[in-house]
A and B are shown apart, each in its own frame.
Chain A
Amino acid sequence: MDTDSVLNDDSGSLEHQACYIYTPTSEASSLSTPKKRRAASSSRTPRSKRERIDSKNCETVGAPRGHGFPTLLRDLEDEDAVNARYEAFDRFWGDVERRTNDVLAQVNDETLQSVSTFVSKADQVIYSEKLPTGLILTGPNIAAHGVLFQQIETRIQSVDKRGRVAILTSKDSSNLKNVLKKIIRCITELQDGFDDEDDIVEAKAGRNPSRYNYDPEIIHDWCSTHPDAKVVVAVQDTEAFDPAVLVELISILHQYLPKIPFILLLGIATSEDIFYEKLPHSTIRLLRGDRFDVQRFEEAMEQVFEEAVLSSQSLLKLGPRVADIIFERQKDHTRSVSSFVMALKYAYMSHFYANALSVILCSIDDEESMNKILSDTHCEAIRNLPSFKNLVESTIPTFPWRARDLLTSNKTLKSAVFSATKECQRYSTNLAEAITLFRKLQSIVSPQQATEIPTYELYSRILWGEFTTRPAFRDAMLTTKKISSEKFHTLLTTLSELPSELSSTLSESASKVQELQSEKAAKGSSLVSEFALPDSHRTTVKSGRVRLDELKSGMTSQDTEYHKLVTSTVQALETYFKDRFKPYTNLFLHEIFFYDLKSPHSQVFAAKPRPSVERALSRPGDYLGCECCGGDDDGEERGIGGSQPYAAILYQLYLESPALIGVYDLWSAFRVVSLGDKADQEADEDDEEEKELQAQFYRALAELRYLGFVKYSKKKTDHLVKLAWKGL
């Protein structure tokens, strides 16, 4: 209910939505409930919940603002702070969005480049009477296809100026005539405005007699005025395009190939084999060309993630719970970068919308302005944060007077807040740095693992601080010890190039390894550390040990030194990672810098209409909250009760029935349930109650029908067919 009120309050962003104003009849209840909630919102309730309640309270008072952000903190928040939150959202999100868009624009660049080269090289001489065809393997994310083809169009048409592009979608594929009309319109830029009825295009510039508006000769005319231009026909969704029309289209394009330099681009979302299955061989033989791959989702996602979340420019980070939800949904359901960007925007939005303390983020570099904007209420709110509690508890043993100051003096608190913001920023930068370092290490040491698990899946584990105990981390460290000396050297040099506090140590060791290597190479062998010794294949422990000793005795002083070096370097790396991959919850004010509320995302992005309807009908008590409908908490199976809404009763009876339901059976069962004990009496035709019940029965039945659960059967009179099963 609270979320509803928040939404209704947001009148600025939602345009003219129908709303229902609930005016309670009894005054007492309207007064008592908010009070109760206010009392309940002590320091122990989670902040988010409290603030939602706060926003509810403010809705009557809050003057309409341009942005629709509510006044939080039980309406005690300053007007300035509200505006500051809104501005901060605008600023931060605008920045992230811009950077994300830059990354996304580059993602397809390689594909665009090769398509463009293909188009420019397509030539009659090379293709000898075949239609030049580019298969673009776009992947199954439909939402991205439109963008990609738009990019191709602008690339060929505006940037490279190689000709005109006509983009076709399956909607145009009703028949050949419409397809050709669309192509001609796109190529010659004829705007909609001529009469479709007589199929005639008026002669342009008197050059040629007028033609039917589907006549490809029009393109030919256009081509004669644009001698070097290519005509690219791009089919965006080849799978959905009517195959018969596609075959016709290809044959027409092929017919006109001597006159018009056609090039065909086909977007294929599934697989090439499926595409070839649909076309006859004679058509395929008319085509000749190449295939282009679009960057896979994982790679694009990784780049966007690094830019939008990891980058030190993004102050607000995703918390592990939200990250888990978002990335799980990506993996299981959508696999599209744009939906990730939407989820990220929603995270930013709800953080600045509902968290009064997000105001801290606006003035992160300026202590004075922060002190100014943080009011006493803000300080009070900060003292209610769980991370503040942790801070105080950890301060008490060492500096008890400081803990007292934090609790009593707003000034001390503010300075603590300011230093905490610095601390949080440092944590984030270090984290990003360490993650990049680790990824680099992984990509050198075990490239296969690095490609299997993308960064964004490691992210939440790292934030929880448990990543260093994971097998993935331990594996990486162990293999680092075991790799060959050449590889170790390249590892050290690449890692030392990355900015981190280890870089100097690493480059030192790198040069040392180099030295040892050259010394050893003079003797004609390569460096070996003890870790890299082959595992013994002898059967007994003793003989294995003997062999190991032999191998060890073969090692030179350089080897021993190298071994020491490897041990110390790996040790240093491990401590470095363990230091950086600490849980974020240790930080004071981590609630401000990490957005980690699960429920808004799961509710907004994965709505569950069907389970909701089913639950409302099968357990109405959950929603009504009244005593009579079995709202007690202990009963697992509440079953059907006569006091429940009629539709709910009918639905539960419906659940128990077979696929074909007799209406009369249903009615008698319904009557028994609704009337309870009185049902034993003989039905009386004139009984008013009976009549009303019957009306209610029909009404409930109509409701079920409207919801798509039943329909009337044609097989048997007075029977219903069951359409929907519960829980699907």
Chain B
Amino acid sequence: MAGPLESLNARFPCRERQINDLAALLSQDDIPAPPVLVLYGTEATGKSTIAKAVLDEFGVPYAYVSCKECITARHVFEKAYTSCDALITPSNGAEKGKQIRPDSVNSLASQLQKLIPSSGKVVLVLDAVDKQREMTPTMLSGLARMGEIINNLTVVMIVTVSSTRLLNISEPPSIHFPAYNKEECVKILSLNPKSIFEVDEDDEYSEEMEQEDRWLWAQCCSAVWDIMGKYAARNLNALKDVVDELWPSLIQPIVDNEYGIRDFPKLFNRLKNEKLRNSEESYVSMQITRAPVDTPADAVSSVPNRAHDLPYFSKYLLCAAYLASFNTARYDTRYFSKLAESTGKRKRVGKRKNTSRQLNRKHLGPRPFQLERMLAIFQAILPSSVLSSVDIGSQIATLSSLRLIRKVSNVASATDASSKWRVNVGYEYVKVVGRSVKFDLETHLEE
């Protein structure tokens, strides 16, 4: 009995209690397993992995369904049934004449009842069952009660948060997987450290080198946890991602023989300075990172390629849309009238009374405007007037299919003068666009 448990504990450190509980509940042949078992805990705490590993290790027959992979509720039922089917009658899937396709919890339960033999133990693992895309209110409790109807079936439900209301069963047996703390994280990640130097085939990976790798890796992990544990690297997987991303640049000085391996503080400082110098705002990029593929051609083609440009009038249209969204209509005469000088003063007096508004319009989000108003502003801000033609209309259509502006009202015709629109991009983008046609957005924008 001790053998499998020990090996499991070696593979999954810091989870002894959970492994013991699971083994006790599911793997004892003489004790009937509970009808339902809930494993709960936040992301990346080893729920699914450990459940599967324990079941494998003790040779308990189980069917595994990842509900995240399923698109609809029926899809979950179908998968649950087929996986049980494959478990019990492994080879005759092809000979089945009539396909059984349960489309509700009830039919799944009755089909499983027919399928599952009365002796022996069957475990159905439903992973991330609360993340299911098409959740009906009774689905979870229905699934949970299947184990009560079918004698020797145990339903293992893996969820993020457990509560009695979730399954409508009073206190189902449950095992909590708490989030790992710093020591545990570092310990787990240290199981397979990355090496500093490329290990060649003929080079022997010496004990000493392994020690050093392990030490530096652990240092790096704990440093990253200290800095980002609360924000970017909240769980084990995220922490691993971040460390993986930082690792190559961290060890670069060692490879270049600039620093020794034990100079960890210096190494980390250097990394920090480098990131600051490249004016990156954070340690980890919030963009799609490049895969470590050798692409020598890339280095050549990284010559600053000028961005793709919008047509000239499209830029003005976008500026007009932004102004129409963020200016109030009643001040339009002030900002866009050709007679702005005379009317401007009068309006300004009127505005002074109205100082209750404190928030900048920019922060309140875009408001819808009528297409006609945008066209009027467009004509007003253009340096030279242009006759409206089909080209202007098609550019509005293009902008909207690029989702730079978007229609908010449900008027049938998009070009109907009374249809309502809204700009869909931020200030910075429009400012850059405006600047490229020498249009100063700021002067026309309401304060």
Residues on A lying within 8 angstroms of B by beta carbon are 114, 117, 121-122, 126-128, 130, 132-133, 135, 137-140, 142, 170, 176-177, 180, 200, 203, 206-212, 214-216, 237, 239-240, 248, 251-252, 255-256, 269-274, 276-277, 281, 284-285, 287-291, 293-294, 296-297, 329, 331-335, 606-611, 708, 711, 721, 723-725, 727-728
Out of A128, A177, A240, A252, name the residue touching B403 (CB < 8 Å): A240
Interface 1/0 per residue, B387-411 and A, CB below 8 Å = 1111110110010011110000000
CB distance from B312 to the nearest CB of A (A): 4
Q: Which residue of the partner chain, among B75, B312, B429, contacts A332 with CB atoms under 8 Å?
A: B312
Binds A, one of B152-160, B211-219, B286-294: B286-294
Chain B stretch 285-326: residues in CB contact (< 8 A) with chain A: 286-293, 295, 297-298, 305-314
- Judge whether A210 and B388 touch: CB under 8 Å: no
With a cutoff of 8 Å between Cβ atoms, the chain A residues found around residue B10 in the complex are none
| A285 and B238 contact, CB distance less than 8 A | yes
Contact A297 B308 (CB under 8 A): yes
Binding site for A on B (CB under 8 A): 66, 68-69, 71-72, 74-75, 78, 82, 93-94, 96, 99, 101, 133, 238, 241, 244, 286-293, 295, 297-298, 305-314, 372, 375-376, 378-379, 387-392, 394-395, 398, 401-404, 416-418, 425-426, 429
A610 to B379, CA, bound (A): 14
Chain B residues in 8 Å Cβ range of A606: 389-391
Contact B402 A140 (CB under 8 A): yes
Complex Cα spacing A608 to B392, Å? 10
Q: Are B402 and A176 in contact (CB under 8 A)?
A: no
Across the interface, do B391 and A251 meet the contact criterion of CB distance under 8 Å? no
Across the interface, which residues of B come within 8 angstroms of A721, CB to CB?
418
| Residue pair A140, B68 in contact (C-beta under 8 Å) | no
Q: Which residue of A lies closest to B425 (CB)?
A: A274
Complex Cα distance, B392 from A606, in Å, reads 9
Q: What's the nearest-Cβ distance from chain A to residue B95, in Å? A: 9
Q: Determine if A607 and B390 form an interchain contact, defined as CB atoms under 8 angstroms apart.
A: yes
B288 A288 Cβ-Cβ under 8 A:
yes
Min CB distance A134 to B, Å, is 9
Sample of 17 further A-B pairs with CB below 8 A, known A240-B402, A284-B288, A723-B418? A142-B398, A209-B82, A209-B93, A209-B96, A255-B66, A274-B429, A277-B426, A284-B287, A293-B305, A296-B309, A297-B309, A334-B311, A335-B309, A611-B387, A611-B388, A611-B389, A728-B388
Chain A contacts for B75, CB-based, 8 A:
212, 214-215
- Given the complex, which residues of A lie within 8 Å of B133, measured CB to CB? 176, 248
How far, in angstroms, from A139 to B306 measured CA to CA in the complex?
11
Q: Which residues of B contact A277 (CB under 8 A)?
A: 426
With contact pairs A256-B69, A284-B286 given, residues A609 and B403 touching in the complex (Cβ less than 8 Å): no
Cβ–Cβ < 8 Å partners of A117 in chain B: 295
Assuming the contacts A177-B71, A216-B69, A271-B307, asked whether A142 and B290 have C-beta atoms less than 8 A apart, the reply is: no
Specify which of B101, B298, B305, B306 is in contact with A200 (CB 8 Å cutoff).
B101
B287's closest neighbor in chain A, by CB?
A276
A126-B293, A285-B238, A725-B372 are known contacts. Are A332 and B288 too (CB-CB below 8 A)? no
A700 to chain B, nearest CB (A): 19
Cβ A240 vs Cβ B401 within 8 A = yes
Cβ 8 A contact of B390, one of A140, A271, A609: A609
- Whether the Cβ atoms of A126 and B292 lie closer than 8 Å is yes
Residues of the B chain whose Cβ atoms lie less than 8 Å from the Cβ of A255: 66, 68-69
Q: Are A296 and B305 in contact (CB under 8 A)?
A: yes
Instruction: Please determine whether A331 and B312 come into contact, CB atoms closer than 8 angstroms.
Output: yes
CB of A563 to closest CB in B, whole Å: 36
Do the beta carbons of A135 and B312 come within 8 Å of each other?
no
Q: How far is the CA of A272 from the CA of B401 in the complex (A)?
A: 16
A651–chain B nearest beta-carbon distance, Å: 15
Residues of B within 8 A of A206 (CB): 94
Which of A114, A251, A332 lies at the interface centre, i.e. has the most chain B CB atoms within 10 A of its CB? A332
